[in-house]
Amino acid sequence: MELATLTYEADGRVARITLDRPERGNGITPRMPVELGACVERANLDPEIHAIALAGNGSGFCGGYDLVASAEGDMSGLDGVEAPAGSPVDPATIAANHAPESNWDPVTDFQFMWRNVRGFMSLFHSEKPVLCKVHRYCVAGGTDMALCSDLLVVGADAKIGYPPARVWGSPTTALWAARLGPMRAKRLLLTGDSLSGEQAAEWGLATEAAPPERLDERFEALLERVARLPINQLVMMKMLINQSLYAQGLHGTQVLGTFFDGITRHTEEGHAFVRRAAEAGFKEAVRERDEPFGDYGLDGFGV
């Protein structure tokens, strides 16, 4: 597959997957989860690769879905995947189904988002371990990729959270409770608040929070340590631990979370958010959503 949204590099025992849309804060397009899944499979089939490193190029790891076009009502430039007209991932179908005045089809919405979930979950299902490096920001849909990874090393000053819990979003991969426990997951999703990198480590979400200037060094140290193990041991250890989450019904929770995500975009409040974005722009709509909480979006990160 020719890659347009990320890069892939085999580096000794490590496969390096890097989100590569820095001009858009590594915003997620329909193509990105597809490319992600293909790269994870490539790494798993390479007998030289022991571990996968996931990172982001540019000012931060990932600012979530590239929602400006859809929220402002112009999907003409959407980076779609090759798909027949009328299919769930056809840009015209997505645009029509997300318009506030549309006769919304929740199953079509689910089919589109479920393909994204499958791409993100390729990290979780990967036989080989995935280590994720988070610098500066990892919010909204970006947290799907981070939480689907096995280990996180984050910058102490990073911002990690799911602000769309306030309006117009539900975490489709639904891993917050699995990673943090019900109480802490509710603390974040019932407010839309975010954690600093330092708090993420204190809460057990991240393996380590490093000073920004030492983030690369600390990430590479852990990556090298993991990659020392034989592939067979790494695969068995990951499968053993993941089984506990499968047994808790993760798949069913993700189906619910993905259906809920579509519903949040078609509530009265969700439609009001879209109308405001069309009038004043997506960033202004986000500012107005988040300003009462005192933590406006990614202000200061250049996204």
C-alpha–C-alpha distance, residues 215 and 154, integer Å:
7
CA distances from 91 to 75, 77, 83, 173, 271 (A): 7, 9, 9, 22, 20
Greater model confidence, 267 or 295: 267
**Helix or strand or coil: residue 216?**
helix
Check pLDDT > 50 for residue 301.
no
| Residue 87 banded pLDDT, cuts 50, 70, 90 | confident
pLDDT per residue over 244-256, tens digit each? 999 999 999 999 9
Count CA within 13 A, CB hemisphere, residue 33.
27
Check pLDDT > 80 for residue 82.
no
Q: What backbone torsions phi and psi does residue 10 show, to the nearest 5 degrees?
A: -90, 120
C-alpha–C-alpha distance, residues 291 and 271, integer Å:
19
pLDDT per residue over 19-48, tens digit each? 999 999 999 999 999 999 999 999 999 999
| Residue 297 banded pLDDT, cuts 50, 70, 90 | low
Please name which of 193, 187, 184, 225 lies closest in space to residue 208, comparing C-alpha atoms: 225
List b or e across 256-285, with b for residues whose CB sees 16 or more CB atoms inside 10 angstroms.
ebbbebbebbbeeebeebbebbeeeebbeb
H-run or E-run covering 184: helix 182-189
Percent of the chain with pLDDT over 70: 92
pLDDT per residue over 180-191, tens digit each? 999 999 999 999
Cα distance between the two ends of the chain: 28
Specify whether the CB–CB gap between 140 and 173 falls below 8 A.
Answer: no
pLDDT per residue over 181-235, tens digit each? 999 999 999 999 999 999 999 999 999 999 999 999 999 999 999 999 999 999 9
Angle formed at CA 160 by CA 158 and CA 163, multiple of 5 degrees: 135
pLDDT per residue over 51-78, tens digit each? 999 999 999 999 999 987 666 555 554 5
DSSP 38-88: HHHHHHHH-TT--EEEEEE-SSSSB--B--HHHHTT--TT--PPS--TTST
Specify whether the CB–CB gap between 88 and 106 falls below 8 A.
Answer: no
pLDDT per residue over 93-106, tens digit each? 777 777 777 788 99
Contact residues for 279 (Cβ-Cβ < 8 A; gap 6+): none
Structural domains of the chain, ranges and CATH numbers in brackets: 6-293 (3.90.226.10)
Contact residues for 278 (Cβ-Cβ < 8 A; gap 6+): 71, 72, 73
For the question of whether the overall pTM of this predicted structure is more than 0.75, the answer is yes
List b or e across 43-62, with b for residues whose CB sees 16 or more CB atoms inside 10 angstroms.
bbeeeebbbbbbbbebbbbb
Q: What backbone torsions phi and psi does residue 138 show, to the nearest 5 degrees?
A: -150, 95
